[in-house]
Amino acid sequence: MGAHREHGVDVEELTVADAPQVAALESVTFSDYPQTQATYREPLTEAGAAGLFADGRVFGIRRNGQLIAVTATSAQGDLTETHFTSVHPDHRRQGLATVVKAASILANADAGHTWFGTGGAGTNAGSIGMNEAVGYEITETWHTLVPPRSDDRLPS
């Protein structure tokens, strides 16, 4: 697939040869993913990054040869699910997450896919903003219940 050009930004489909760059970008962004019960995340190794290409498709944006944005999807039955999207901290709030994710969805739509899903922590304003900009709607939410601390209990 050729590169998409949207808003003056080239989005390209990455290949397994890019797995080390994907892993390097994820090592920079890892601490910015909210770790919640429903969105727990392990660090992405190079082998894990290579596995993304075996299971699905990965799109990215480079600046000066450096990978600065990435998004990964795979088909799970009829559903095309985005595993993650990230942007290097030095390049955020420029619409790059929205652009790379939108290009990935369009490429998958071009390939005949019609049903798309994505997840994210409710506390992750960047994730929610990106997904709303791409056009996702929130259809379900997960709530984690924890027992009250003893000093939160009402007197009996």
Residues that bind ligand COA (CB under 6 A): 29, 32-33, 84-87, 92-98, 120, 124-127, 129-130, 133
Question: Measured from the CB atom, is 73 or 98 closer to ligand COA?
Answer: 98
11: left (phi over 0), alpha (psi -120 to 50) or beta: beta
* Shortest Cβ 156–ligand COA spacing (Å): 42
118 vs 154, which CB is nearer to ligand COA?
A: 118
Residue 48, class by beta-carbon neighbours within 10 Å (0-12 exposed, 13-18 middle, 19+ buried)? middle
User: Which residue has its beta carbon closest to ligand COA?
Assistant: 129
**Least distance from ligand COA to the Cβ atom of residue 120, Å:** 5
Residue number, 85 or 112, with CB nearest to ligand COA: 85
49's CB contacts (< 8 A; 6+ apart) are 19, 20, 22, 23, 26
